[in-house]
Amino acid sequence: MMTMITKQEVLKDKLEEYLKADKPGKGHILNHLQAVLGFDRKAIVRRLNSLQIKDPHHIDQRGGKEIYGPRVTIALKEVWHVASEICAERLHPQLAELIRVLKRDKMWNHNEQTTKLLFVMSLGTMKNRVSKFPRIRNHKGRSTTKPSSLKEMIPIRRGPWDNPDPGFGEIDTVAHCGSSLSGDYAYSVQYTDVALIWTCLAAQWNKGQHETLKSIQRIKRRLPVTMLGIDPDTGSEFINWLVKDWCDEQEPKVELTRIRPYHKNDHGRIEQKNYVNIRQFLGYTRIDEAKRIKLMNQMYEHLEDYINFFLPSQKCLKKERTGSRYKRVYDTAQTAYQRVLGHSQVPKTAKEQLKLKYDRLNPKILKDKIERLLKLILNNTHY
């Protein structure tokens, strides 16, 4: 009785003859192999086809002609890197605008054919290419939120926002403590406008009430619209008399609400932005020198412009239930700048000021400035 190895050798010997034979000839060879090997006819055909593909001299002609070659992949990776390695769903609608700005400032070194192919690339193809690009993953961090005794006086906002006006946003702190919560270290404060997805950032030393209020004031000055409401968690850096009195004294008054304790989903937008806008750049490194706060705020000025003018995001429009499963429906990815221009309740003067600023910005130049400042901030820091 022949072993499987012997049978495989018989098939290899007959492979070349089988490939060169016409249809009747192939039939005779299959009859012979079927009698000798005792295999089913279809099994023999499959094995011969498999050997044909493995043959080093065989040229596999299956599939269509390749459209997007290595040059297109390199160009896509360059834009993807400029856009901070965002997902294809966010990159695809913004690709043409990013390339336009790079070409305007003579930072696009790819030929017209490559550029045209990028413009016509489908979302599915882009998702496939982007998924194969290497990414840098950071470690998980720690929570530093502690409840405040004043929280009973601050109204609770329950569940997701219901299409608020521009000016209402979620706010949160991010600790740069590394692997230890002991001692003094830097914090970042992030505010995200719910309607516009406009992001503002500030750095501070520790999270005392006065320092947190200064960060809120800095954010208020940098917003393109009037701040109407802030919605933090139950942390004492926000839920205190100093912040509450300041909110009440503003004109118009800033509404102060809070989320339900232990319901992070109420703050889903800002929690996700904490990673995308802060952790993705500063990681989880411990920053325990006060002199680095000035550098962090300088970096955040550039990072705000980079995020708001050039990094598109998607908003969840609704959730559809099918049986026990939910499907989220998102809008087309847009930058916060595009959302501001398209929102009817943003004053025309604010839109004009942003247009003038946008015409002077370049994502690659901003990213280079951010990376230079990051090196200074993270120099000699530790986990």
pLDDT of residue 53: 66
pTM of this structure: 0.76
pLDDT of residue 322: 83
Secondary structure (DSSP) of 273-338: HIIIIIIHHHTT-B---TTHHHHHHHHHHHHHHHHHHH--B--EEEEEEETTEEEEEE---B-HHH
pLDDT of residue 146: 59
Provide the residue count of the chain.
Answer: 383
**For each of the chain's 383 residues, which pLDDT tens digit applies?**
678 888 888 888 888 888 888 888 999 999 988 888 888 899 988 888 888 766 555 555 555 667 888 999 999 999 999 999 999 999 999 999 999 999 999 999 999 999 999 999 999 999 999 999 987 655 455 666 655 556 667 888 766 677 889 999 999 999 999 988 899 999 999 999 999 999 999 999 999 999 999 999 999 999 999 999 999 988 889 999 999 999 999 999 999 998 887 777 777 778 888 888 999 999 999 999 999 999 999 999 999 999 999 999 998 888 888 888 888 888 899 999 999 999 999 999 999 999 999 999 999 999 999 999 999 999 876 55
C-alpha span between 22 and 27 (Å, rounded)? 9
C-alpha span between 189 and 370 (Å, rounded)? 18
C-alpha span between 169 and 190 (Å, rounded)? 10
Q: Where in the chain is the domain with CATH 3.30.420.10?
A: 149-378
149-378: in CATH 3.30.420.10: yes
Token pair 């986990």 in the structure block, residue: 383
Three-class DSSP category at 49: helix
* Six-digit token string for 309: 């003018």
Residue 148: how many other CB atoms lie within 10 Å: 22
Own/partner long-range contacts of 151-154 (Cβ < 8 Å, ≥24 apart): 151/234, 151/239, 151/258, 151/261, 153/244, 154/239, 154/244, 154/256, 154/257, 154/258
pLDDT of residue 101: 95
pLDDT of residue 9: 84
pLDDT of residue 330: 87
